[in-house]
């Protein structure tokens, strides 16, 4: 019997689909752990040894704290703390992509308004300011000129917390009304979607409409390369991509993939694929500890 | 069970779970199921800055 914990803070459509899928597997012993209900004692041995902790928390800081403690207790987490931390911070993510030579939009990072203005002169206008930590299209700004940048930076300095002292600036990519998202599970690009919107922000959380998108060889290659660069071979990753005249560019890499709008549109049972992969990773760990066949 | 925002009846579906997020069909508020027996809901926490994918 494989012991698996599903770590959640909010039970959304994705988590319910995963819980239903986990419940269909008779060889799994599953606990759904709500992070807000847990009390950790880092000095005590783990109450229960899980073969795998499948992380689905939407709060980055709370999720990282829990993963730190589970991993310190010897648990294998999917995605791991390292992967979640890298994907949760765009500076770390872009550094990992750059190290691996994965194409991404031209980028500058600065830590003061004055340096950020210089960075924008290098990038040219329009450019996009993104929060280093944040998601769902929140707090993104398209800067068309220096006046707008100065006003925005003043607002950030006045209203923002420490997170707003990091200026992550991306060259604006003139998208054809859509961006793309590829789902990479265990090193395989299992499907992709387009996210179409009349707004320049094409997150589904902001109302973009999805449709299936064919995984061509270039899309497959760059998606797998991005997942490998940021997360390694075992991860569950959603890669966001832009189409450009020079080919695909990786916009960002997500560690807690949302897939509610991507199952019918792609015909791929993503919850089942996620659970299949989680079971495979857990089984590998069991066999490493107890020998071949122990996970059967 | 009624929505704490608008008072409309809330449908939590056939298999509600603690911490599940359900929308109020009347006003669209995001509600979180706090307990099943008795069934209680409250307004779900507002999205925080570090939430996401």
pLDDT of chain A, 296 residues: tens digit per residue: 899 999 999 999 999 999 999 999 999 999 999 999 999 888 876 667 899 999 999 999 999 999 999 998 889 999 999 999 999 999 999 999 999 999 999 999 999 999 999 999 999 999 999 999 988 888 899 999 999 999 999 998 888 787 889 999 999 999 999 999 999 999 999 999 999 998 999 888 888 999 999 999 999 999 999 999 999 999 999 999 999 999 999 999 999 999 999 999 999 999 999 999 999 999 998 887 778 777 76
Cα gap A200→A166, rounded to integer Å: 23
A64 — alpha (psi -120 to 50), left (phi > 0) or beta?
alpha
Question: Contact B50/A138, CB-based, under 8 Å?
Answer: no
Spell out which residues of chain B touch residue A16, defining contact as CB-CB under 8 Å: 15, 17, 20
* Residue A141 confidence (pLDDT): 95
pTM summary value: 0.94
Q: Does B8 touch chain A (CB under 8 A)?
A: no
User: In the prediction, which pLDDT does A296 show?
Assistant: 64
> Chain A closest CA to B25's CA: distance in Å?
16
Cα separation, A189 vs A239, in Å, equals: 10
Q: Is A40 left (phi over 0), alpha (psi -120 to 50) or beta?
A: beta
In angstroms, what CA-CA distances link A83 with A68, A188, A204, A276?
12, 17, 23, 20
Separation in Å, CA of B20 to nearest CA in chain A: 4
The predicted complex's ipTM stands at: 0.88
How many C-beta atoms lie closer than 10 Å to residue A19's C-beta? 19
pLDDT, one tens digit per residue, over B1-53 is 899 999 999 999 999 999 999 999 999 999 999 999 999 999 999 998 899 99
The pLDDT of residue A53: 96
Chain segment A232-258, per-residue pLDDT in tens: 999 999 999 999 999 999 999 999 999
What pLDDT does residue A291 have? 80
CA separation for the pair B31, B39 (Å, rounded): 12
Of B17, B44, B52, the CB nearest to A134: B52
Residues of A in contact with B15 (CB under 8 A): 16
Partnered with residue A254 across adjacent β-strands are A238
The answer to whether the Cβ–Cβ distance between A138 and B47 falls below 8 Å is yes
């Amino acid at each position: 019997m494989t012991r698996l914990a599903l770590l959640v803070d909010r039970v959304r459509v994705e988590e319910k689909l995963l819980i239903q899928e986990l419940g269909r597997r008779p060889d799994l012993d599953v606990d759904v752990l709500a992070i807000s209900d847990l009390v950790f004692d880092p000095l005590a041995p783990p109450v229960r040894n899980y073969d795998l902790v499948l992380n689905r928390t939407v709060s980055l800081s709370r999720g990282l704290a829990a993963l730190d403690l589970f991993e310190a207790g010897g648990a294998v987490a999917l995605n791991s703390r390292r992967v979640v931390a890298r994907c949760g911070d765009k500076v770390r993510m872009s550094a990992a992509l750059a190290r691996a030579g994965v194409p991404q939009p031209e980028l500058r990072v600065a830590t003061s308004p004055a340096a950020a203005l210089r960075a924008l002169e290098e990038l040219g206008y329009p450019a996009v300011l993104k929060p280093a930590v944040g998601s769902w299209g929140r707090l993104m700004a398209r800067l068309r000129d220096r006046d707008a940048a100065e006003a925005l930076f003043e607002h950030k300095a006045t209203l923002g917390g420490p997170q707003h002292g990091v200026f992550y600036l991306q060259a604006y990519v003139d998208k054809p009304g859509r961006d793309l998202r590829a789902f990479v599970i265990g090193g395989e690009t299992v499907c992709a979607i387009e996210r179409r919107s009349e707004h320049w922000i094409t997150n589904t959380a902001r109302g973009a409409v999805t449709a299936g998108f064919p995984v061509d060889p270039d899309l497959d290659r760059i998606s797998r390369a991005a997942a490998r660069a940021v997360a390694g071979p075992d991860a569950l990753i959603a890669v966001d991509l832009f189409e450009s005249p020079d080919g695909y560019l990786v916009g960002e890499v997500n560690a807690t993939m949302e897939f509610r709008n991507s199952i019918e549109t792609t015909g791929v049972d993503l919850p089942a694929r996620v659970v299949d992969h989680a079971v495979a990773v857990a089984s590998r760990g069991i066999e490493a500890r107890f020998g071949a066949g122990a996970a059967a | 069970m009624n929505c704490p925002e608008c008072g409309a009846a809330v449908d939590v579906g056939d298999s509600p779970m603690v911490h599940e997020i359900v929308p109020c069909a009347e006003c669209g508020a995001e509600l979180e199921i706090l307990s099943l027996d008795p069934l209680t809901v409250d307004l779900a926490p507002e999205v925080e800055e570090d939430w996401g994918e």
